[in-house]
Amino acid sequence: MIRIEHLVKNYGSVCALDDVSFTVEAGEIVGLLGPNGAGKSTAMNILTGCLSSTSGKAMIDGVDILSDPLRAKKLIGYLPEQPPLYPDMTVWEYLNFCYDLKGCRLDREKHLREVCDTVRLGDVAGRLIRHLSKGYRQRVGIAQAMVGDPKVMIFDEPTVGLDPKQIIEVRNLIRGLGRAHTVVLSTHLLSEVQAVCDRIVIINKGRIVANEKTERIAAAVSGSRRFRAKICGPQAAVLQALQNMPGVARAEALAERDGDAGAYALETSEGLDVRKKLFYLLAERGWALVGLEATGVDLEDVFLSVVETSEQSGAKRAPRGARRTRRGKETAEETLGAALYEEADSRRKEAAAGKTDED
């Protein structure tokens, strides 16, 4: 649905995008993630036809945004970081205005009612936009992007400045839109891409340093998978058996208990799935396996790994087997900027306190 090929954008001597290529399939939600100054807004602006590129192509559903911008723009709904709202209009007036501006041909009343219902604006349709809260204004911004029922939705930092409840609402909304649309969103928040996106494209200093399915990105970058197992059996013997299992790079006993079962963290080497082997091993020893879960993507590690490798190899894609090191952490902190690390740090603290985003 979206195809970006060898995109380069120079602002004078500043190279904001350096040979960027990626595709987004129909129905996918893709997160463009990177620190401030990475080139996200530049990519979004080119993708939406608001900015020309120095070279390269951006295609929306087969239409070249640079050579046929009017046709391509009809396929796109865009929510810029600052939603283009007119505070002196009511929500309903504004959506009608957007309808006219886009030259929409759908049944006006029915379509705009549907848009209002989807983003739950029905109750405030008659209110002046200036009297709405930030969360509601963001919903109006999303509604204007939906007018005309475009195939592609592009959101630039859609949850910046919202409170936690509004953030969850907007994320749910975007996930819902992803069922019928192709969505690209840019963010500098690790938790955002993890909560919303099917695939993550990480951009750093104008180059793509990772492009993977969300659930596979940790494995693809670090080469390992992580599991948490709850096992009934003598702790020292269980731990030794886990550590000796082929394909297990690391096993450790956790402080947590579940009845008479102890909890263990496992990390496999090179993306191996050891779950079946683990089941048979434990059955053989007579130790009951009462819980087994993949512990998911640790994006913090992914960032550190990706940036470390990209710094070393001139921002090329991180190879498999890359590992985080203390030196990598320092490089990453300098490169990715404080925001990512503040968030990663707060995620760690929340995890330690047993909290999640939705708390």
40 counts as binding ligand ADP under rule CB under 6 A: yes
Q: Give, for 1, the enclosing helix (H) or strand (E).
A: none
Distance between CA atoms of 127 and 134, rounded to whole angstroms? 14
**CB-count exposure of residue 312 (10 Å: 0-12, 13-18, 19+):** middle
Q: How far is the CB of 39 from ligand ADP (least distance, A)?
A: 4
Piece of 8-16, 20-28, 194-202, 324-332 that binds ligand ADP (CB under 6 A): 8-16
- Cβ atoms of residues 148 and 95 within 8 Å: no
**CB-count exposure of residue 289 (10 Å: 0-12, 13-18, 19+):** middle
222 counts as binding ligand ADP under rule CB under 6 A: no
220 counts as binding ligand ADP under rule CB under 6 A: no
Q: How open is the CA angle 333-334-337, to the nearest 5 degrees? A: 70
Q: How far is the CB of 229 from ligand ADP (least distance, A)?
A: 39
Q: How far is the CB of 43 from ligand ADP (least distance, A)?
A: 7
Q: How far is the CB of 121 from ligand ADP (least distance, A)?
A: 28
Residue 156: partners with Cβ closer than 8 Å, 6 or more residues away:
40, 41, 44, 78, 79, 80, 81, 185, 186
Piece of 11-19, 70-78, 189-197, 345-353 that binds ligand ADP (CB under 6 A): 11-19
Q: How far is the CB of 193 from ligand ADP (least distance, A)?
A: 14
Piece of 31-39, 56-64, 192-200, 278-286 that binds ligand ADP (CB under 6 A): 31-39
Q: How many residues bind ligand ADP (CB under 6 A)?
A: 11
Distance between CA atoms of 338 and 341, rounded to whole angstroms? 5
39 counts as binding ligand ADP under rule CB under 6 A: yes
Q: Taking Cα atoms as reference points, which of 160, 156, 162 lies closest to residue 42?
A: 156
Member of 38, 115, 174, 218 binding ligand ADP (CB under 6 A) = 38
> How far from chain centre, in Å, is Cα 302?
13
73 counts as binding ligand ADP under rule CB under 6 A: no
Q: Which residues here bind ligand ADP, judged by CB under 6 A?
A: 11, 14, 16, 34, 36-42
